[in-house]
Each structure stands twice: as C-alpha cells, then as structure tokens.
Structure 1
C-alpha cells in the first residue's frame, strides 16, 4: 500500500496550481500539464520551499566552486596531454573548458528564466528540463517527463562512475604502498577490502555530518598537489623531445579526460541555488567566471608540465611517475585519504536523486529507513564490483567524462535553450538556435567518439573477462594463465 499524500503537500500543490494559473500566459496548457503530471519530478522535490533562505556568501561560493574541481581528474591531465600532444593539449585544455563554461552560463540563465516564467524558485536540473520542454515545440512536449528523468539518470551514472574511479584509485595506490612492505597481492583484493570502510562513511545520511570529511579532503588535496608540482618543476627536459601532436585517433581520450575534470554541473547549479546573492554568480566578472579562470589556467599548466616532465612515459595518473621515496609516498597517502573522504560526498548526489526523488515517496515510512540503508550498501558494493571488473583509472576517466558529461553540459543545455527560446524567438538570423545546435553537435561528436574509443580500449584490455571467471578453475588445472587480467 502506498502512503497517502499528506495535507501539507496537498496545500502546496494547490498553491502552485493557483499561482501558475493566474500568472502564466499559457494557462490552459499549463493547468492540463500540472494535472497530468502531478507527482512528477518537478513537484516531487521534498526540499521545494520557495522562500528558503540561502546561506552561502560570495566568497564561500567561490571557494566551494574551486575545491569541487580538484579531484582525481587533475591527476589524469598529463596523460590527457600524452593523448593529444602538447600543442593540441594546450589549445584543447583552454578551448574545451571555455566552451563548456559558456554552455553552463546559457543553462543557468535558462533555468532562471524558466523559474520566473512558472513563478517557481530553486529549480533543479531535471525540473528545469521538464518545464522547459513543456514550453517548447508541441511535438516535443509529450517527452518532458522522459527527458527530465534522463537528466536524473545521467547525473546518477556520472556520480556513480566517479565513485568507481575513486575506488580504483584508492585500491591501486594502497597496493603501490603495500607492495613496499608486504608480499605483493592482486589489486582487486585491495579494492575488495575497501568495501567495509567505504560503506561506513556512506551510511552517514545527513549531509552536514559529511562536511568535516570535505574539509579534511580539501586540506589533504592541496598539500598533495603541492608535492606533485614540486617534482614537476625539477630537472625539466628539452621540450623538443616531446610530441607537439599525437595521432588524432587518440584525441577522444583527451576530450573525455578534460570533460571528466570539469566541475559537476549539478554542483554548479546547487551553489547558485544556495547563495545569498545569486545574481553575483554569473556575469563577466561573476563568481563562476573568476573561479573557472583559475581552474582553466591551473589545468592547462599542470597537464603541460606533467607531459613535459615525463613524455611518453606519462602514466594514467601522475602519482605513478613520482620517484619511490618518502616525500612522494606522503603525497600518495594524502591523495588516498582525500579521495576516501570524498567518496560519500560524490555518492550523496546519486542517493538524493534515486532515494528522495523516486523511491522514498512510494514507500511506507516505517520501512523507509531500512530500505535506504540497504540501497546505500548496495551502491557501495556495486561501485566496488565495477572497480574490480575494470581497474583502469585512465580509461574509466575518459568513459565517464565522454558518456555522461557530454550530455549533461552540452547536449541537454542545447535542448533546454531551444525550448526556452521557442515562444520568444531565436534572435537575428536565429543565432540562439544555431548556438544550441552547436552545443548539441559538439556534445554528440565528442561524446560518441570518446565513448567508442574508451569502450574499445576497455574491451581490448579486459576482453573475455566473464569467460575468464567461468573457466578460471580449468585454466589453473592446466598450470598456466592465458593472459593476465589487469594492468599491462
């Protein structure tokens, strides 16, 4: 039996209907939409409070935006330059993030415009997609709920993928440290052993109790990056020994890594929604532009220095190139602890979408807590199993970035912009329409190419994995393994 809608939610829905009917110029269409879709993503948000007080100052939003961009993606940037060459890497690491930043500006403006049009505040990404398509071309409107749920799905897949990358990173680096003091064992055993510690952090349900972990993670990350930069600046070789351009077939891997390194669009939207003065977020000298300028400059310099230092020997993540000495081990340990503390924060987004948006409203309150804990444990186990199956840090980076972020930061903003501008026109020569189509085209080309190259590389590296596990006993009886699964 499903729980009945409580009186407060009924009153809220009634108020939304009255305001929308009196203020929206397409009243009959909107009223039909509201009745047909009551309970959909736009009205299922349990945190929908039009008068909620924002808490972040401009400085706090700026700092949070900076720190959310520094994760494992930074460590893979030198490898991205290896896949492109240093000339194309310099150009791409500046142009691609700038293009993404512009698409983010368009998306945030469209979300704000959609909220004003429907007299609603605090719209999420999926809610904005739902409402924008409802005001778009008539042939597209029946798909509003489908696209909104697709946004939620890709946000979940992206953050789950980030958690898988984190598990791989932790397991591989613990193995690197452990092999110096313990008998060598398979990296998948180290990954499996992380299940319980990660599960304990992920069972924390309240976001405010995860804040101390975020603070610790940021401190460890800053010191760790400082140690890496120290190594990169010592004894740089001749730049002529490094390739300015690589085979263009490897460029999709560069594209995917750059996309993965970009800040999460969900975080960017959430920061603006929680600011005291959200109007200061955008604009030429707004918080978003200032923060992203610093991020783009750092990414460009860090990736370039890493490739300049190590060239064709550049590893999938830069920590593997550091010499085996005490200082580098300290840096690796700091990154392990930082990523461990960040695991629950990344997974929180996925749980919020799956649990709060879709599962909790359909469950009896007495069973909700137990099922939520089971869902959280299942997510940890799932991420660990994926990491065990494909423990390749670089390829997972490229796959997650190409498959998810190309849609979230390019394709979907283009679709939303087309729908938002549909009733008011696209400007001279339909320039807004062409701009949106450019977002979609770049997202499709980069996303498809990056995904195909990443999947092909993963298939080549881990081919016949299922057959391996099915026949492992037989192969061992023969006395040898046909190939080694894992890093080559």
Structure 2
C-alpha cells in the first residue's frame, strides 16, 4: 500500500509530535524560495524553514514559482516512491544485510580487545557499548523518519539528516534589503558527517590491507614461502586498484555473494575450534589462573573503547538499508533483532577466543589458528584464505562509499565534463592515488590493533554515539510535549553523547600515543 512505502514513525498511533507536524510540516507561503531548492545529493528537495523569500519580484511571479516548485517536488516524490516499491527489500532480507554488514575484521579482533580488560569486565563493557550504539542508531532512524515526513521526501542519507536537522540555523548579513552574506549551519553539519564517513571507510580500507597481508604471510610461511607483510601489501596493491576502478556495484554482486559464503564458513570453523579449545582448557584456565581480569585503569579502557566500536562496522549502512525497505516502519524492530544477534556473537567470540588462547591472543583470531602442515591445519589455512578473499571484495564495496561522496563535488569544482575522456582518466587516477595512500598507511603502520583502536575511537565513536543524540535533540526539541519528558530524553541523549566524546578524546589520544611508541620502539 502507498502508506507502507512512506518513512513513518515507529509508533502505530498518532502522537502529539505527529499532530504537531501534521499541522506545521508544510512551510507557509512566506517560507519557500520559489525555484531555489536545497540540493540533497543528486536530487532537488524543498527548501527548509529559515530560507526566507527575498522581497524582490512581484507577488504573482512568486506564487507561480511556488506552484512550479510544489509540482516538481510532487513528481519527484512519486518517482522516489515507485523506485522504492520496485527495489524494496523484505524484513528478512534487511535482517540478513544488517548481520552481514557487522561481521568483518572487527569481530575477529574482539578476542584481543577482551584481553585488554579481561573476561569479566570485557563482556559487560562490550554489551553496554553495544546497547548504546544500537540505541543511538535508533535515534538516527527516528530523526530521519520525522524529517522525511516533515519535508515530504522519501529518503535521506546520514549527511542529509544532519543538514536538515540544522537547517534552521542560518546566519545572514544584510545591508538594507540586499543580502550580502549567508552562512548555513546545516551545510557545515552535512560536511562534517560526510568527512567522518569518508575517514571511517578509508580507515577500514587500511585495516583490510593489514589484515590480508598478515594472514597471507602466515599461510605461505607454512608452505615455505616467507615474505614480509609489507611485500604482500605490494602484491595485493595492483589487484585492489583494478577492483577500485569498478564504478557499478552490480558488477561486484557475484563476488560479494561468494565473499558472504566465505565469511560464514570461516566463522563457523573458528567458532567450532575456539569452543573445542575452550571446553578442553576450561578446567586448566580457572584452576591455574592462566587468564585473569586485567585492571581497567590507565590506558586500557580507551583502547578497548576503540576496538569495541570499530566492530560495529555497519553504521554507514543503516540509513541506506532503511531507505530500501518495503515497510520502513518495521526497521527498528528488525534492527533490534539483527543487532541483538550480532552483539551476542561479539561477546561469544570475544570471550571464548580469549579464554581459548589466553594472553597469547593475536590482533586477529585468525592468526591464532593452527599454523603447521598437518592435515587439520590445512583446513584452517583455507579458512584464512577465505577471509582474505572476503576482505578483498569488502575493500571494493567499502571504497565505493567515499568515492560517492568525494567525486561528484570534486568534478564539479574542477569543472570536469563527465562525457569527456579526460574525466575517465582523472577518475581512475584519483581512485588509484587513494588506494595507494591506504596501502601506504598500512605499510607504515602494519599493526592491526593500532589501526582498529584509532579508527574506532576517532571515526566510529562520532558516527555511532556522538552525532545521533545531537541530531535527535535538534529534530525533536521544538515538538510540544510535557516538560519532564523533554528533560528526561535530552538528559539521556546528552549522557550518551558525553560518553562518546570522552571515548573519542581519550581513545584517539591513547591510540596516537601507542602508534608513536610503536615507531620509537
């Protein structure tokens, strides 16, 4: 039904906020800008409140422009709605996508993260951070749904939600009736969010290079071919560059399907192995005190904070998945189910992996799998190769996201015509340079734990915990409701944001200090 294809609030009944925005959602005639619309990505959308109509031009011309704007918006809204209906995903498909988006190198590094705080404190902190992350994602989704309803648009991405949330804060300087300068906070908010998204995705790419090189080094060492991990990064670089040139994600679909099978098979083999070791060593572990809870003081917590938040790698996929759902109002409950399963898997792999290998745990649990030439070890060498292939394909998928943000405004600023061959050469060269940069950073810092802690503390904390509560406050603050309710949810949002900011600064500082110590050591 048509109503099912619209982004709605998760509540089925009409709340006071619904009534408020039903009466106030459409800007009045003196709040539109005629043909001047806000550019959301590649789509033209209705201007936000705060863009006052200039006093120039006749009233008749202004009304005609307003009618043209509304007609164009209505037509685009119908196109968006039909597009959603044609390519909509079911609840089950969205559930699978959510689980897959959060199963990657971060999961394999959680046993090492557990070793920094111990098997008692670790699961508790990981669960708390997981609940906070899931709740923050819910705040982001609700904010997006309210903004879509408020401005009568079909979908918004993360940056557009930030832009819409802050759009009312526009600073103008006039001399008489002439507008001299204009500064819009919404555009700055969108830029900040997009910068963090780009840094997060490119940071993931650096981690993927290190992950693949470490596992390939170990696999081929067992066969007698000993190459340094930096050499393996150089061997992988041309192949990664070729895959980065792919401009259509549909081309990667067959590779992605195989990669998914590799990940699930590999995870199954790892869970079986660590559970077997856990059962075998349980008595020894608790009798001998081989594994004990490490102190949570000093620099341990910031490192764990970054590692734990990095594992929630799918934050950039949340809004795109919600936008593609056949029934977007079901997204929150699907999110709870999927992320609940993911968090349970995180805690299980983290704790069992730590207890199975103790203080000998490596940066990635794949590096703790059997390394010799015995028959059962060959199976685990294959598992490592499976993960290398899956991460290789994931690199191309993750690399596509920052390119989608960077290339359009870059081509526009440089006035590069998309139809000319020069644009193709520049695009391929630009992508090659970025891939080389990520490979260069991986060569410079070939330590998986250092990269994961830094990216998790700096970028993932901002996107997963800091930004969503701020956007919620901006979107819902003016909605009428009892004073005590407003104070309660604002206090909760500020608390979550404060935890994120604390982890952001302490985790980033500690990670950078550890990197400096690595170079000095």
TM-score range, shorter chain: 0.7 to 0.9
* Deviation of the 1:138 alpha carbon: 7.8
Alignment of 1:345 with 2:410, yes or no, is: no
* Deviation of the 1:213 alpha carbon: 1.4
Alignment of 1:331 with 2:373, yes or no, is: no
Range moving further from structure 2, 178-187 or 322-331: 178-187
Q: 1:128 aligns with which of 161, 166, 171?
A: 161
Range moving further from structure 2, 318-327 or 445-454: 318-327
Instruction: Name the residue aligned to 2:142.
Output: 109
Deviations 1:25-50 (A, max 9, x none): 36545639x94x854758579x9953
* Deviation of the 1:423 alpha carbon: 2.0
State the distance in 1 between where 2:170 and 2:360 align.
Answer: 52
State the distance in 2 between where 1:415 and 1:26 align.
Answer: 27
Alignment of 1:272 with 2:322, yes or no, is: yes
Cα distance 1:453–1:23, how it changes in 2: closer, same or farther (>3 A)?
closer
SS in 1 for 2:197: helix
* Deviation of the 1:439 alpha carbon: 2.4
Q: 1:63 aligns with which of 91, 96, 102?
A: 96
State the distance in 1 between where 2:169 and 2:441 align.
Answer: 39
* Deviation of the 1:182 alpha carbon: 4.0
* Deviation of the 1:287 alpha carbon: 0.8
Q: 2:109 aligns with which of 64, 76, 98?
A: 76
State the distance in 2 between where 1:40 and 1:109 align.
Answer: 19
Cα distance 1:118–1:448, how it changes in 2: closer, same or farther (>3 A)?
same
State the distance in 2 between where 1:264 and 1:237 align.
Answer: 33
Report if the CA contact (8 A) 1:137-1:422 is conserved: no
* Deviation of the 1:136 alpha carbon: 5.9
Instruction: Name the residue aligned to 2:473.
Output: 418
SS in 2 for 1:99: helix
Instruction: Name the residue aligned to 1:318.
Output: 365
Cα distance 1:30–1:99, how it changes in 2: closer, same or farther (>3 A)?
farther
Alignment of 1:363 with 2:410, yes or no, is: no
Task: State the superposition RMSD in angstroms.
Answer: 2.5
Report if the CA contact (8 A) 1:44-1:357 is conserved: no
* Deviation of the 1:346 alpha carbon: 0.8
State the distance in 2 between where 1:405 and 1:233 align.
Answer: 30
Alignment of 1:50 with 2:80, yes or no, is: yes
Report if the CA contact (8 A) 1:216-1:341 is conserved: no
State the distance in 2 between where 1:437 and 1:104 align.
Answer: 15
Report if the CA contact (8 A) 1:114-1:131 is conserved: yes
State the distance in 2 between where 1:44 and 1:399 align.
Answer: 37
Report if the CA contact (8 A) 1:84-1:245 is conserved: yes
Alignment of 1:400 with 2:471, yes or no, is: no
Report if the CA contact (8 A) 1:42-1:126 is conserved: no
Alignment of 1:260 with 2:305, yes or no, is: no
Alignment of 1:293 with 2:340, yes or no, is: yes
Cα distance 1:42–1:414, how it changes in 2: closer, same or farther (>3 A)?
farther
- TM value normalised by structure 2: 0.79
* Deviation of the 1:385 alpha carbon: 0.8
* Deviation of the 1:418 alpha carbon: 1.5
- Flag structure 1 segments of 5+ consecutive residues without an equivalent: 1-21, 464-482, 484-488
* Deviation of the 1:345 alpha carbon: 0.5
Cα distance 1:411–1:42, how it changes in 2: closer, same or farther (>3 A)?
farther
Deviations 1:389-441 (A, max 9, x none): 11111111111111011111121112211111232257533222212212220
Report if the CA contact (8 A) 1:164-1:384 is conserved: yes
Report if the CA contact (8 A) 1:41-1:148 is conserved: no
* Deviation of the 1:222 alpha carbon: 1.0
State the distance in 2 between where 1:141 and 1:97 align.
Answer: 37
SS in 1 for 2:292: coil
* Deviation of the 1:448 alpha carbon: 1.1
State the distance in 1 between where 2:140 and 2:170 align.
Answer: 18
Instruction: Name the residue aligned to 1:246.
Output: 295
State the distance in 1 between where 2:238 and 2:103 align.
Answer: 26
- Flag structure 2 segments of 5+ consecutive residues without an equivalent: 1-23, 46-75, 173-181, 372-376
State the distance in 2 between where 1:117 and 1:290 align.
Answer: 28
Instruction: Name the residue aligned to 1:3.
Output: none
Report if the CA contact (8 A) 1:58-1:280 is conserved: yes
Deviations 1:125-181 (A, max 9, x none): 111100111136989983211110111111011011101100111111111122233
State the distance in 2 between where 1:303 and 1:427 align.
Answer: 43
Deviations 1:258-294 (A, max 9, x none): 1011142221111110111111111xxx211111111
Report if the CA contact (8 A) 2:115-2:294 is conserved: no
Report if the CA contact (8 A) 1:135-1:423 is conserved: no
Alignment of 1:432 with 2:472, yes or no, is: no
Report if the CA contact (8 A) 1:82-1:246 is conserved: no
State the distance in 2 between where 1:102 and 1:185 align.
Answer: 45
- TM value normalised by structure 1: 0.84
SS in 2 for 1:462: helix
* Deviation of the 1:105 alpha carbon: 0.6
State the distance in 1 between where 2:386 and 2:481 align.
Answer: 50
Spell out the pairing of 1:197-212 with structure 2 (5 A cutoff): 197-212=239-254
Report if the CA contact (8 A) 1:227-1:331 is conserved: yes
SS in 2 for 1:128: helix
Range moving further from structure 2, 392-401 or 430-439: 430-439
